[in-house]
Amino acid sequence: MKERSSRLKAIRKLIKTGRIESQEVLLKELEKEGFEVTQATLSRDLKLLKVGKISDGHSGYVYTMQSDEDRGDSEQIFVQDFLRGYVSIDWNATTVVIKTFSGYADPVSNALDFFNMDEILGTIAGDSCIFAALKDGVSGEDFMEALKKHIPDLED
Protein backbone atom coordinates (compact mmCIF):
# COMPACT_ATOMS: atom_id res chain seq x y z
CA MET A 1 0.00 0.00 0.00
CA LYS A 2 1.28 3.46 -0.85
CA GLU A 3 2.07 5.90 1.94
CA ARG A 4 -0.29 8.48 3.37
CA SER A 5 1.47 11.49 1.85
CA SER A 6 1.21 9.96 -1.64
CA ARG A 7 -2.46 9.21 -1.05
CA LEU A 8 -3.15 12.77 0.11
CA LYS A 9 -1.43 14.16 -2.99
CA ALA A 10 -3.55 11.86 -5.17
CA ILE A 11 -6.73 13.00 -3.43
CA ARG A 12 -5.81 16.66 -3.97
CA LYS A 13 -5.11 16.03 -7.65
CA LEU A 14 -8.33 14.07 -8.20
CA ILE A 15 -10.48 16.71 -6.54
CA LYS A 16 -8.79 19.63 -8.31
CA THR A 17 -8.85 18.03 -11.78
CA GLY A 18 -12.02 15.96 -11.77
CA ARG A 19 -15.66 15.97 -10.82
CA ILE A 20 -15.85 14.03 -7.56
CA GLU A 21 -19.41 13.88 -6.24
CA SER A 22 -19.07 11.35 -3.41
CA GLN A 23 -16.65 9.34 -1.32
CA GLU A 24 -17.62 6.24 -3.30
CA VAL A 25 -16.52 7.91 -6.54
CA LEU A 26 -13.29 9.06 -4.90
CA LEU A 27 -12.59 5.57 -3.52
CA LYS A 28 -12.94 4.10 -7.03
CA GLU A 29 -10.62 6.73 -8.49
CA LEU A 30 -8.04 6.06 -5.77
CA GLU A 31 -8.23 2.32 -6.49
CA LYS A 32 -7.44 3.08 -10.15
CA GLU A 33 -4.36 4.98 -8.89
CA GLY A 34 -3.24 1.92 -6.89
CA PHE A 35 -4.44 2.89 -3.40
CA GLU A 36 -6.33 0.52 -1.10
CA VAL A 37 -8.29 2.78 1.24
CA THR A 38 -11.17 2.19 3.64
CA GLN A 39 -14.06 4.63 3.80
CA ALA A 40 -13.06 5.56 7.37
CA THR A 41 -9.50 6.41 6.30
CA LEU A 42 -10.80 8.43 3.36
CA SER A 43 -13.10 10.38 5.70
CA ARG A 44 -10.13 11.24 7.93
CA ASP A 45 -8.08 12.25 4.88
CA LEU A 46 -10.85 14.54 3.62
CA LYS A 47 -11.13 16.16 7.05
CA LEU A 48 -7.36 16.64 7.27
CA LEU A 49 -7.29 18.21 3.79
CA LYS A 50 -10.23 20.46 4.70
CA VAL A 51 -12.23 19.21 1.72
CA GLY A 52 -15.73 20.61 1.41
CA LYS A 53 -18.69 20.26 -0.92
CA ILE A 54 -20.13 23.01 -3.08
CA SER A 55 -23.06 23.15 -5.45
CA ASP A 56 -22.14 22.39 -9.03
CA GLY A 57 -24.74 24.94 -10.14
CA HIS A 58 -26.96 22.30 -11.70
CA SER A 59 -28.19 19.21 -9.95
CA GLY A 60 -25.69 18.24 -7.30
CA TYR A 61 -22.61 18.84 -5.24
CA VAL A 62 -18.91 18.23 -5.83
CA TYR A 63 -15.87 18.13 -3.58
CA THR A 64 -13.64 21.20 -3.49
CA MET A 65 -10.42 22.21 -1.77
CA GLN A 66 -9.03 25.42 -0.36
CA SER A 67 -6.84 27.44 -2.66
CA ASP A 68 -3.12 27.56 -1.88
CA GLU A 69 -3.62 31.11 -0.60
CA ASP A 70 -6.38 29.98 1.79
CA ARG A 71 -4.22 27.05 2.90
CA GLY A 72 -1.38 29.47 3.63
CA ASP A 73 -3.73 31.53 5.79
CA SER A 74 -4.84 28.36 7.60
CA GLU A 75 -1.25 27.26 8.13
CA GLN A 76 -0.46 30.59 9.77
CA ILE A 77 -3.33 30.07 12.20
CA PHE A 78 -1.99 26.60 13.10
CA VAL A 79 1.53 28.01 13.51
CA GLN A 80 0.17 30.60 15.94
CA ASP A 81 -1.78 27.90 17.82
CA PHE A 82 1.37 25.80 18.12
CA LEU A 83 3.56 28.68 19.31
CA ARG A 84 0.90 29.87 21.74
CA GLY A 85 0.44 26.46 23.33
CA TYR A 86 3.70 24.54 23.48
CA VAL A 87 6.06 24.67 26.47
CA SER A 88 8.79 22.17 25.56
CA ILE A 89 9.71 19.43 23.09
CA ASP A 90 11.76 16.36 23.95
CA TRP A 91 12.18 12.91 22.39
CA ASN A 92 13.67 9.45 22.61
CA ALA A 93 14.31 6.92 19.84
CA THR A 94 10.63 6.48 18.88
CA THR A 95 8.53 9.22 20.44
CA VAL A 96 8.39 12.99 20.62
CA VAL A 97 6.81 14.45 23.76
CA ILE A 98 5.46 17.97 23.50
CA LYS A 99 4.44 19.58 26.77
CA THR A 100 1.85 22.33 26.50
CA PHE A 101 0.06 24.77 28.72
CA SER A 102 -3.03 23.21 30.30
CA GLY A 103 -5.78 22.82 27.70
CA TYR A 104 -3.51 23.49 24.72
CA ALA A 105 -2.56 19.93 23.79
CA ASP A 106 -5.48 19.58 21.38
CA PRO A 107 -4.78 22.73 19.31
CA VAL A 108 -1.04 21.95 19.21
CA SER A 109 -1.78 18.37 18.12
CA ASN A 110 -4.21 19.65 15.47
CA ALA A 111 -1.41 21.86 14.15
CA LEU A 112 0.90 18.84 13.83
CA ASP A 113 -1.85 16.95 11.99
CA PHE A 114 -2.42 19.91 9.66
CA PHE A 115 1.29 20.08 8.83
CA ASN A 116 0.99 16.47 7.60
CA MET A 117 4.59 15.69 8.49
CA ASP A 118 5.94 12.49 6.93
CA GLU A 119 8.09 11.93 10.03
CA ILE A 120 5.08 11.22 12.28
CA LEU A 121 2.99 8.04 12.41
CA GLY A 122 0.35 9.69 14.62
CA THR A 123 -0.31 11.82 17.66
CA ILE A 124 -2.13 11.38 20.96
CA ALA A 125 -3.09 14.48 22.92
CA GLY A 126 -4.02 14.75 26.56
CA ASP A 127 -4.68 18.01 28.40
CA SER A 128 -1.13 19.32 28.60
CA CYS A 129 0.99 16.76 26.76
CA ILE A 130 1.22 15.26 23.27
CA PHE A 131 2.90 12.02 22.23
CA ALA A 132 3.92 11.83 18.58
CA ALA A 133 5.11 8.43 17.35
CA LEU A 134 8.02 8.71 14.92
CA LYS A 135 8.34 6.55 11.83
CA ASP A 136 11.16 4.00 11.66
CA GLY A 137 14.48 5.66 11.02
CA VAL A 138 13.30 9.15 11.99
CA SER A 139 15.14 10.81 14.86
CA GLY A 140 14.01 13.61 17.13
CA GLU A 141 16.44 15.88 15.33
CA ASP A 142 14.82 14.95 11.99
CA PHE A 143 11.42 15.76 13.49
CA MET A 144 12.61 19.17 14.73
CA GLU A 145 14.17 20.00 11.37
CA ALA A 146 10.89 19.18 9.60
CA LEU A 147 8.83 21.10 12.16
CA LYS A 148 11.01 24.19 11.71
CA LYS A 149 10.15 24.17 8.01
CA HIS A 150 6.59 24.94 9.10
CA ILE A 151 7.53 27.07 12.13
CA PRO A 152 10.84 28.86 11.45
CA ASP A 153 10.51 30.90 14.68
CA LEU A 154 10.39 27.76 16.85
CA GLU A 155 12.93 27.88 19.66
CA ASP A 156 14.90 24.75 20.60
CATH code for the domain in which residue 24 is found: 1.10.10.10
Residues 57 and 108 in one domain: no
Residuewise pLDDT in 10s, the chain (156 residues): 447 888 988 998 999 888 899 999 999 999 999 998 898 889 888 888 878 888 767 778 888 876 655 555 567 888 999 999 999 999 999 999 999 999 999 999 988 988 888 899 989 999 999 999 999 999 999 999 999 999 998 876
Residue 99 falls inside a structural domain = yes
- The pLDDT score that the predictor gives to residue 1 is 40
Residues 72 and 59 in one domain: no
d(CA 47, CA 52): 9
- The pLDDT score that the predictor gives to residue 19 is 87
- The pLDDT score that the predictor gives to residue 16 is 87
Residues 9 and 60 in one domain: yes
Residue 114 falls inside a structural domain = yes
DSSP label at 45? H
55 is in which domain, residue-wise? 4-64
d(CA 144, CA 125): 18
Residues 106 and 121 in one domain: yes
Amino acid at 100: T
- The pLDDT score that the predictor gives to residue 156 is 64
- The pLDDT score that the predictor gives to residue 100 is 96
d(CA 16, CA 12): 6
pTM for this model (two decimals): 0.57
- The pLDDT score that the predictor gives to residue 69 is 54
**Last residue within a domain, chosen from 64, 88, 111:** 64
Residues 26 and 60 in one domain: yes
- The pLDDT score that the predictor gives to residue 72 is 55
Residues 49 and 102 in one domain: no
Residues 29 and 83 in one domain: no
Q: Within 10 Å of residue 102's Cβ, how many Cβ atoms?
A: 10
Name 19's Cβ contacts closer than 8 Å, sequence gap at least 6: 56, 62
Residues 27 and 79 in one domain: no
Residue 156 falls inside a structural domain = no
Residue 155 falls inside a structural domain = no
- The total domain count for the chain is 2
Residues 58 and 74 in one domain: no
Residues 8 and 32 in one domain: yes
Q: Within 10 Å of residue 121's Cβ, how many Cβ atoms?
A: 14
